[in-house]
Amino acid sequence: MGRDIQAIKFSGEDRGRYRDKLRRSLEVFARMLREHLFDAEPAQVGLEIELNLVDGRGEPSMTNADVLAAIADPAWATELGQFNIEINVPPRRLEGDALEGLEREVRNSLNTADARARGTGSHLVMIGILPTLDEKEMHEGILSANARYRVLNEQIFAARGEDMRIVIEGPERLVTQSGSITPEAACTSVQLHVQVSPEAFANYWNAAQAIAGVQVALAANSPFLFGKQLWHETRITLFEQATDTRPDELKHQGVRPRVWFGERWITSVFDLFEENIRYFPALLPICESEDPVAELDHGTTPQLAEMSLHNGTVYRWNRPVYAAVDGVPHLRVENRVLPAGPSVVDVMANAAFYYGLVRTLAEAQRPVWTAMSFATAEENLHEAARHGLDAQLYWPGLGDVPVAELVPRRLLPLAREGLASWGVAPAQADHLLGIIEQRCITGQTGAAWQIATVARLTERGADRPEALRQMTQRYIEHMHTNEPVHTWPHNA
């Protein structure tokens, strides 16, 4: 969940003071790592889910302020667009029947929120990109009321100095211009958190990077944008383009993008925070009163607010997170590649696959990233986003292999092993990983279901906007059954 800020104008003095504070924070962070001050037994996981709001016709509903007032629960918050909201699910230990309890908690929270939203005329949809979004709706007026979004919008466009051009080539072609960051609001995701020790962090981050492409291929759920059929997970390229602070000249100079896969395997969590500060100018140079050196000298855990705020404006697909809870600092890997939906049980299956696989790979004697180039891991991500389960991805020892073969043959056993290491009950592991296996067998992800359903409706005479609207309404009906997407029919 993002940090609230007040509307503000930034001076050169503000930026200089913030840069100095960032460097001081980084020095304190390094000292905390050297002195082993972090939670020694972290073993907790958590997740956030972003959702869309629609009206009774399945079209965007710009009502998040009213919906949040009706939900009246601090776990829920605004997101970038007025048709977005987000739930932050409390962390827990991943053991025993934790995944079953997590699924039940998420379903109950979403059902309660949806019932209250209906009182305002809106409905919740858990989907990577809302298919009924219209290009004309992407303007600054649909930003959520929270001041941080408007300030962020101003700062990104001040850095760019020009409007944003978005070009996506898929089965169809989209070319559009935007004078605001609102196209980013089309992207709704599930973020999976794993709390890890500093010593284990690099292995977990590297492992998460190595499997990002596989995750996206299995979970693709964003094939339509502004009426066009594009990538199976269009959200990946849309987010990369919609949050880019670079005009073409800086791209050609090799300046790094703010939505960033990264450029190398790491050896320490420090590498990531240090890169963020070295490569990226501050978008929100807001200084707090805390002196992190004095706090640490007095035996108090510093919040490192400036470093954390800056880190939140560098959009890595696997982001490092520093936080202090009850005076104890900890580190998390925040996995950000997955789209929302289609059903809660699908989200839980995606989470189980990630939590299990990332643990096995992170703790392996021969790390997978020593046999795969970093550039290949990034290529896998974009290949998967384009083609979903039809993608061919590189995997060490196998070469280029279809995802639907790679996952059952090589990765599901590793994910099952990892869930056992967490202490997850075998029956739960089998149930959730079985959903992943069935997706591979049937070839039906959320994206594949959407594409096939729209094609069927078009054959029956609906034009594209009407086919997308009807498909969205059917999607919502299936979402509420909580049946996994591989079982969804195309004609019901």
Tell me the per-residue pLDDT of 153-162, one tens digit each, with 9 for 90 and over.
988 888 888 8
How much is the pLDDT for 11? Answer: 79
Yes or no: say if 335 and 206 are a contact pair by the CB < 8 Å rule. Answer: no
Give the model's pLDDT for residue 1: 40
Tokens standing for residue 355: 């939590």
Q: Does residue 41 have a pLDDT over 80? A: no
Alpha-carbon distance values, 94 to 99, 134, 220, 411 (Å): 7, 40, 25, 20
- pLDDT tens figures, 426-461: 999 999 999 999 999 999 999 999 999 999 999 999
For residues 393 and 217, give the distance between their C-alpha atoms in angstroms, rounded to a whole number.
Answer: 9
Instruction: Supply the pLDDT for residue 373.
Output: 98
Banded pLDDT at 8 (limits 50, 70, 90): low
Ranking 53-62, 203-212, 250-259 by mean pLDDT, the lowest is: 250-259
481 φ, ψ (degrees, to nearest 5): -75, -20
Q: How far apart are CA 6 and CA 10, in angstroms?
A: 12
Predicted pLDDT of residue 4? 47
On the question of pLDDT at 3 being above 70, the answer is: no
Q: Is the pLDDT of residue 2 over 60?
A: no
Over residues 83-97, the pLDDT tens digits come to 999 999 999 999 999
- Which token pair is 291? 């002196």
Side-chain-facing half-sphere of 41: CA atoms under 13 Å:
3
What is the reported pLDDT for 367?
Answer: 96
Rounded (10°) angle between helices 269-279 and 198-219: 70
Q: What is the pLDDT of residues 322-343, one digit of tens each?
A: 999 889 999 999 999 999 999 9
Residue 278 contacts residue 263 (beta carbons within 8 Å): no
Q: Give the bridge partners for 233, in sequence order.
A: 222
Q: What is the mean pLDDT of residues 180-201?
A: 96
Task: Give how far Cα 250 sits from Cα of 159, 161, 263, Å.
Answer: 11, 11, 17
Residue pLDDT, tens place only, 375-409: 999 999 999 999 999 999 999 999 999 999 999 99
Report the half-sphere exposure of 480 (CA within 13 A, side-chain side): 13
- Per the CB < 8 A criterion, the answer to whether 96 and 310 are in contact is no
Contact criterion met (CB below 8 Å) for 142 and 185: yes
Q: Is the dihedral of CA 460, 462, 467, 470 positive or negative?
A: negative
Give the chain's end-to-end CA distance (angstroms, integer): 36
Distance CA 218, CA 216 (A): 5
pLDDT in tens, 149-185: 888 898 888 888 889 999 999 999 999 999 999 999 9
- Nearest Cα to Cα of residue 435 among 366, 349, 365: 349
Nearest Cα to Cα of residue 130 among 208, 37, 235, 39: 235
pTM of the full predicted structure?
Answer: 0.96
* Residues 246-265, mean pLDDT to the nearest whole number: 93
Q: Show the tokens assigned to 74.
A: 């601090």
Residue 462 pLDDT:
97
Indicate the average pLDDT of the chain: 94
CB atoms within 10 A of CB 211: 27
